[in-house]
Amino acid sequence: MTQSPAADTASADTAADVLIVGSGAAGLTAALALPDHLRVTVLAKGALDEGSTAWAQGGIAAVLEPGDTFEHHVRDTVIAGAGLNDPAVVEQVVGRAPAAIERLRELGVPFAEEGGALHLTREGGHSHRRIVHVADATGWAVQEALLRAAAARPNIRLLPDRVAVDLATGRHEERYSGAGNVWGVYAADRRTGRVELHTGRATILATGGAGRAYLFSTAPAGATGDGIAMAWRAGARVSNMEFMQFHPTCLYDLRVKNFLITEAVRGEGGRLVNPATGERFMARYDPERLELAPRDVVARAIDAEIKRHGLDYVHLDISHQPPDFVRAHFPNIHEKLTGLGIDMTREPIPVVPAQHYTCGGIVIDADGRTDLPGLYAAGECTQSGLHGANRLASNSLLECFVYGEAAADHIGRHLDTLPPVPPIRPWDESRVTHSDEEVVIKQNWTEIRRFMWNYVGIVRTTKRLQRAASRIRLMRDEVADYYGHFRVTPDLIELRNLLEVADLIVRCALARHESRGLHYTLDYPDTLATAADTVLVP
């Protein structure tokens, strides 16, 4: 038995002109850029500020420094992306960055200034100072400003605690079937447990990344790739999912699993040490730059040590610096670690690399359009062509602003050409019962994240990927059976989506017979002369 829509249509209460799934930088930017005569609904699966946006630390990249040029920013982006970026897209995004920053200032984001001008920092891979920031909590300030502005707009409804389950498409209703048109989503209301139909003549997916497919990820708990999985199930192409960015140093602590230890700790002298041998091992991997080698080099070195010695983690040690120096430079990290029983002024910090950013996703065009009529997407859930095989630091928030606006602009100009929402069946809740086997969900959830970590992590082999693929096949049957028989819960929705995105990651990784950017496989260590996206067609 499958859960499927029954009869009737959305009530006026859940019918909007434009439905946006996601209240992060991409979703709220789109909401604010839509004409204010349109009724806009924004759904979030938990609290409105629970996405990655609020967690962004560093800042947003834009050409603002005298002497810097768009060409430089484009070149840095393409070098990071290992030549897989779409040059036209990179130019479009980079060119629109200064205006996006200006709009954020108008919304009240208090970017750091120096001498009356914006203060710009420099990050790895950038040839110039071009990162605007709000101390080390840029994302929080951006999220706050966008939410404040959206809440003040009478045409925007913000609905937290609605977990989208699937897209409402023409396919559910043969009578109204129109080439996979999308007219909204079915979403579970956490407070009532009921699945409601939310309609929109246009729908924008802005659901963020899929980092939580991995045991260690710096992303928030909700980053389970829901939008990517929903779009794929509905028939949209997905691309480049093999390019998962890993941050080299995340705290190893099974209670926390997502606490980032900033690169600055290595910048201030922190040493990476193998806890089994006591060796400062970076000398073997990058004798010149040691701990300050690029992120992917350091992440791969740590991964190699962990795999070779069967370790759970390596040590990051800054205890040779004076305690006052460590406390002054890293007050937040020091406080957090002290709370977990680690005194970083006297002992090493256990660290592992952690998934950090999802470069691939739903294929979109320059207007944020997906393959499905009526469905747009923006932000980390997409593959726009900007990042290629590796994201340049601080380009990701920028992508959210540019594509949030692009989608809104296109919808504003073309909404009238989209078919009106036909009667669509609401979710059929009569046939499903509550499960008394929640343990199945917990067990599968942990298992996926572990095998993705072990088999589909930083260094891959065909054999490991195939192992992961066969686990996924087994678990999909089990979860499909479970999904068909029991009432959907947020955990079950996320588990189903995690399996879907795990499958997409593995399929993309198996399809790429080379190593490029973030995808490194021992079976194909070389980079091919011609760069091509991995595109999966449903």
Ligand X SMILES: Cc1cc2nc3c(=O)[nH]c(=O)nc-3n(C[C@H](O)[C@H](O)[C@H](O)COP(=O)(O)OP(=O)(O)OC[C@H]3O[C@@H](n4cnc5c(N)ncnc54)[C@H](O)[C@@H]3O)c2cc1C
**Amino acid identity at 437:** E
| Cβ proximity to ligand X, 171 vs 391, nearer residue | 391
Q: Are 160 and 47 in contact (CB under 8 A)?
A: yes
- In angstroms, the CA 238 to CA 225 distance is 12
For position 441 contacting ligand X by CB under 6 A, the verdict is no
Shortest gap between Cβ of 165 and ligand X (angstroms)?
7
**Rule CB under 6 A: is residue 77 a binding residue for ligand X?**
no
* CB 225 within 8 Å of CB 200: no
Q: Is 85 in the site for ligand X (CB under 6 A)?
A: no
Q: Which stretch binds ligand X (CB under 6 A): 52-60, 195-203, 306-314, 433-441?
A: 52-60
Q: Does 81 bind ligand X (CB under 6 A)?
A: no
Residue 110 identity (one-letter amino acid): P
Q: Judged by CB under 6 A, which of 5, 41, 58, 74 binds ligand X?
A: 58
Among 35, 46, 83, 412, binds ligand X (CB under 6 A): 46
* Strands 131-132, 361-363: pairing kind: unpaired
Closest CA to 303 of 246, 243, 360, 242: 246
Closer residue to ligand X, CB minimum distance, 235 or 361:
361
Please identify, using beta-carbon distances, which residue of 144 and 226 lies nearer to ligand X. 226
If one asks whether residue 301 binds ligand X (CB under 6 A), the answer comes out as: no
Residue with smaller CB distance to ligand X, 305 or 494? 494
Q: Which of 39, 171, 266, 295 is catalytic?
A: 295
Smallest distance from ligand X to CB 55, Å: 4
Q: Which is nearer to ligand X, 14 or 207 (CB)?
A: 207
Query: Which of these segments, 56-64, 111-119, 424-432, 454-462, binds ligand X (CB under 6 A)?
Result: 56-64
Q: Is 260 in the site for ligand X (CB under 6 A)?
A: yes
| Separation CA 348–CA 249 (nearest Å) | 13
Considering only 62, 219, 372, 392, the residue that binds ligand X (CB under 6 A) is: 219
Minimum CB separation from ligand X for residue 526, in Å? 30
Q: How far is the CB of 30 from ligand X (least distance, A)?
A: 9
Report if residue 22 touches ligand X, rule: CB under 6 A.
yes
Site for ligand X in 354-413 (CB under 6 A): 357, 379-380, 394, 396-397, 400
181 to 38, 186, 376, 381: CA distances (angstroms): 20, 15, 11, 20
CB closest to ligand X, residue no: 24
Please say which residue, 311 or 386, places its beta carbon nearer to ligand X: 386
> Pick from 3, 218, 383, 444: which binds ligand X (CB under 6 A)?
218
- Enumerate the H helices of 293-395 as residue ranges: 295-309, 323-329, 331-339
248 binds ligand X (CB under 6 A): no
- 516 assigned to active site: no
Pick the binder of ligand X from 43, 93, 421, 509 (CB under 6 A).
Answer: 43
* DSSP classification of residue 431: T
Residues 270 and 277 sit within 8 Å (Cβ to Cβ): no
Report, in Å, the least distance between residue 503 CB and ligand X.
Answer: 18
Alpha carbon 117 to chain centroid, angstroms = 31
List of E strands, 277-408: 314-317, 349-358, 361-363, 375-377, 382-383
Task: Give the contacts of 487 (CB within 8 A, at least 6 positions apart).
Answer: 193, 429, 432, 433, 434, 435
Q: Is 41 exposed, middle or buried (0-12, 13-18, 19+ CB in 10 A)?
A: buried
Judge contact between 17 and 415, C-beta under 8 A: yes
Give the number of C-alpha atoms closer than 13 A to the C-alpha of residue 404, restricted to the C-beta side. 30
427 DSSP 8-state letter: B
Considering the complex, state which of residue 133 and residue 519 has its C-beta at the smaller distance from ligand X.
133
Q: Which of residues 160-199 bind ligand X (CB under 6 A)?
A: 162-164
Give the Cβ contact number of residue 413 at 10 Å.
11
As a whole number of angstroms, the distance between CA 413 and CA 410 comes to 5
CA distance 513 to 507: 12
The site for ligand X, by CB under 6 A, has a size of 41
Name which of 28 and 272 has its Cβ closer to ligand X: 28
- Per-residue binding letters, 111-150, with ligand X (x by CB under 6 A): ---------------------------xx-----------
106, two tokens: 């108008």
> Looking at the annotation, which residues are catalytic?
295
Query: Residues in the site for ligand X, rule: CB under 6 A?
Result: 21-27, 43-46, 50-53, 55-60, 138-139, 162-164, 206-208, 218-219, 222, 226, 260, 357, 379-380, 394, 396-397, 400
